[in-house]
Amino acid sequence: MINKVKNFIEANKLNIDNRVVCAVSGGADSVALISILSRLGYKCILAHVNHHKRKESEEEERAMRELAKDLNVPFELLDYHFKGNGNFHDDSHNARYDFFREVADKYNTNIIATAHHEGDQIETILIKLMEGSNLYGYGGIALDNNDGKYRIIRPLLCVSKNEIYDFAKEEGLTYFEDSSNHEDLFLRNRLRHHVVPLLLDECPDLYDKALRYSLMMHEAFDYIREDSINYLNKHNHIIDISSFKNLRIALKKDIISLLLERFNIRRNTNIINDILELLENEDGNKELKLEGEYFLYKEYNQAYISKRNVTLPTAVVLEENDSVVYNNAYRFYFSKNLPVSGAKYIKLWYNQLIFPFVIRPRKNGDTITIDNGTKKVSRVMIDKKIPKNQRDILPIIVDGNGDIVWIYDILKSDSVYKQKSEGNIYLVCEVL
C-alpha cells in the first residue's frame, strides 16, 4: 500500500516538496495517512482536533500524542468546544480547517493532507448527484485543492477502506472507530452500507472509474473556472447582463456559482437555475432572496449580491483640517494639492467655504441646485440608474449652510460647477 500511495502521489504531481500538515482525527484513515507519509520520508506535522463530543475524545487525544512521539513528528492540538450557536458540523468544519491553516503558517508550509479514500469519493459523488451541485461539486473530492495560498491534498484517494484497515492491522497501528459511522441516521452512512455495495457488485472497478470521472470533471471545471474568474474580476463582482447573455450556458452557470462562493452563500442546482432564469428574463428590476441576509439584485442591466440595508450610515462632520471616514468605505478630507491617487474630488473657493461640512445619507425631500433650478436627490439617483440598495448609503456632502454641494460621484451642485476653474482647494474622497 505504501508503494501504491507513493506512485499515486508521483503520477498526479501532488508534489509534497515541503512540510505537510496531516489532519489526524484518530480514525484508521488518518492514522494510516500520517504513517505512510512519514514512511515515505515526508516531514509531517500531526494536527489533531479534540471536539469533546464523545467520551473517547480524551483517550484519542492521548493516543495521537503518543503516535506523534513514535513517528518523531510535531503534535498540534485544537481544543475545540462548540458554543451551541449555529450548526455543529459546519462550525466545527470551519474551525478545523482554520486550525490546519494556522498550523501550516506556523511551520512555514502551505500543504495540508487529509485522509479521504476511494469510498469517501464514491459517497461524495452520489450525494452531490442527489442534492444538485455545480461542475466542481459533481466531480466529488479533488485530489489537490489550491486556493492560491494553501494546498489541500488527498494522497489516499487511490486506496479503499479495506486496504486501509489491512495496512493498520499489519503495522499494528492504534486507531479509533466512531460508533456513529455504523448507524443509518446519516445519508452518507446509508449510501456506504446499502447502495455502494450494490454498485460494486455490478461494477467491481467502480472505484477506479469514479476516480477517472472525478479527474475529468475537475479538469473541465478548471478550464471554465478561469474564464469565470476573469469575467467577475473584470466586472468587479457584478454580472453585466448584456455581455452575460452572449456566453455559453456552462460558463453562465459557473459565473453564478463563483459569485455565490465569493459571498460564502450555499449553492446548488436549483439556486443556480433560479438565478439564471431571473437574469435571462426580460422583466425589469427584480430581486431574489438568498441565504442569510443576502439578496441578488437585478437592476439597470446589472446583477449583484448584497445585503439589504436595514440601518442607515451615521453622518460624520468634516472640519477644515479633519480626515473622516464615512460608512467604513469612504475617506473625506480637504487638500490644497490636486489629488493624484485617482480619488474623486470637487474644487472649491476656500474663502467661500462655510464649515462644518457634513457627510450623510440622503433624506426625504433632499434637493440639489442645478443650472436651471433644483432637482430632488431621489430623482437624480433614479435618472442615473443607481441601484436601490445603494441609494441610502451613497455619501451626500452638505456645507455649513445646509446646502448639498455634491452627490458623491454622481452630481455636483451648480455652485460647485461655477468654482471649477477658479477654485483653490479640493474636497477629496478616497474609496477605502
Q: Which of 370, 365, 431 is nearest to 406 (CA)?
A: 370
Instruction: State the cell numbers at 128.
Output: 452531490
Q: Where residue 130 sits, what CATH number does that domain have?
A: 3.40.50.620
User: Would you state the pLDDT for residue 84?
Assistant: 63
In a domain? residue 282: yes
* Range among 167-176, 261-270, 276-285 with highest mean pLDDT value: 167-176
In a domain? residue 224: no
User: Would you state the pLDDT for residue 86?
Assistant: 62
> Where on the phi/psi map is residue 342: left (φ > 0), alpha (ψ -120 to 50), or beta?
left
Q: What would you report as the CA-atom Rg of the chain, rounded to the nearest whole angstrom?
A: 29
User: Would you state the pLDDT for residue 385?
Assistant: 84
Same structural domain for residues 77 and 178?
A: yes
H helical segments located in 316-413: 377-383, 388-391
Query: Distance (Å, rounded) from C-alpha 366 to C-alpha 361?
Result: 10
User: Would you state the pLDDT for residue 410?
Assistant: 94
pLDDT digits 0-9 by tens, 319-372? 999 999 999 999 999 999 988 777 999 999 998 899 999 999 999 999 999 988
Query: Distance (Å, rounded) from C-alpha 71 to C-alpha 75?
Result: 10
C-beta separation of 33 from 157 below 8 A: no
Determine the Cα angle at 224 with ends 220 and 226, to 5°: 120
Same structural domain for residues 27 and 164?
A: yes
As a whole number, the mean pLDDT across the chain is 92
- In angstroms, the Cα distances linking 258 to 33, 129, 299, 380, 391 are 32, 19, 20, 33, 26
Phi, psi at 329, each rounded to 5°: -135, -20
In a domain? residue 123: yes
- Poorest-confidence range of 102-111, 232-241, 384-393? 384-393
Same structural domain for residues 23 and 168?
A: yes
pLDDT band with cut points at 50, 70 and 90 for residue 418: confident
User: Would you state the pLDDT for residue 22?
Assistant: 98
Q: Which of 318, 326, 323 is nearest to 358 (CA)?
A: 318
Asked whether the predicted pLDDT for residue 377 surpasses 80, the reply is yes
Same structural domain for residues 193 and 284?
A: no
Query: Distance (Å, rounded) from C-alpha 37 to C-alpha 74?
Result: 14
Q: Which residue, of 182, 214, 246, is where some domain finishes?
A: 214
In a domain? residue 105: yes
Same structural domain for residues 62 and 200?
A: yes
pLDDT digits 0-9 by tens, 221-278? 999 999 999 999 999 899 999 999 999 999 999 999 999 999 989 888 899 999 999 9
Tell whether pTM > 0.85. Answer: no
User: Would you state the pLDDT for residue 88?
Assistant: 66
Same structural domain for residues 202 and 258?
A: no
pLDDT band with cut points at 50, 70 and 90 for residue 310: low
Same structural domain for residues 11 and 118?
A: yes
C-beta separation of 34 from 42 below 8 A: no
User: Would you state the pLDDT for residue 338?
Assistant: 85
pLDDT digits 0-9 by tens, 140-168? 999 999 888 999 999 999 999 999 999 99
Q: Residue 183 carries which DSSP code?
A: S
Same structural domain for residues 207 and 82?
A: yes
Please state, as a whole number, how many other Cβ atoms lie within 10 Å of the Cβ of residue 368.
Answer: 22
Range 5-37 burial, b when 16+ CB lie within 10 A, else e: bbebbeebebebeebbbbbbbbbbbbbbbbbbb
In a domain? residue 50: yes
Same structural domain for residues 386 and 242?
A: no
Helix (H) or strand (E) holding 219: helix 206-234
Give the range of the structural domain holding residue 382, as residue numbers without chain letter.
316-431
pLDDT digits 0-9 by tens, 42-84? 999 999 999 887 778 899 999 999 999 999 999 999 998 777 6
Query: Distance (Å, rounded) from C-alpha 344 to C-alpha 364?
Result: 25
In a domain? residue 210: yes
Same structural domain for residues 195 and 257?
A: no
Helix (H) or strand (E) holding 273: helix 269-280
Same structural domain for residues 46 and 141?
A: yes
Same structural domain for residues 414 and 385?
A: yes
| Positive or negative torsion for Cα 414, 415, 416, 422 | positive
In a domain? residue 229: no
Query: Where do we find the cell 446548488?
Result: 268
Say how many domains are in the chain.
3
User: Would you state the pLDDT for residue 387?
Assistant: 81
Q: Which residue, of 214, 246, 261, is where some domain finishes?
A: 214
pLDDT band with cut points at 50, 70 and 90 for residue 26: very high
In a domain? residue 228: no
Higher pLDDT, 131 or 76: 76
Helix (H) or strand (E) holding 258: helix 249-262
Give percent helix, percent strand, percent coil of the chain, each to the nearest 5.
Answer: 40, 20, 35
Q: Which residue, of 307, 333, 359, is where some domain finishes?
A: 307
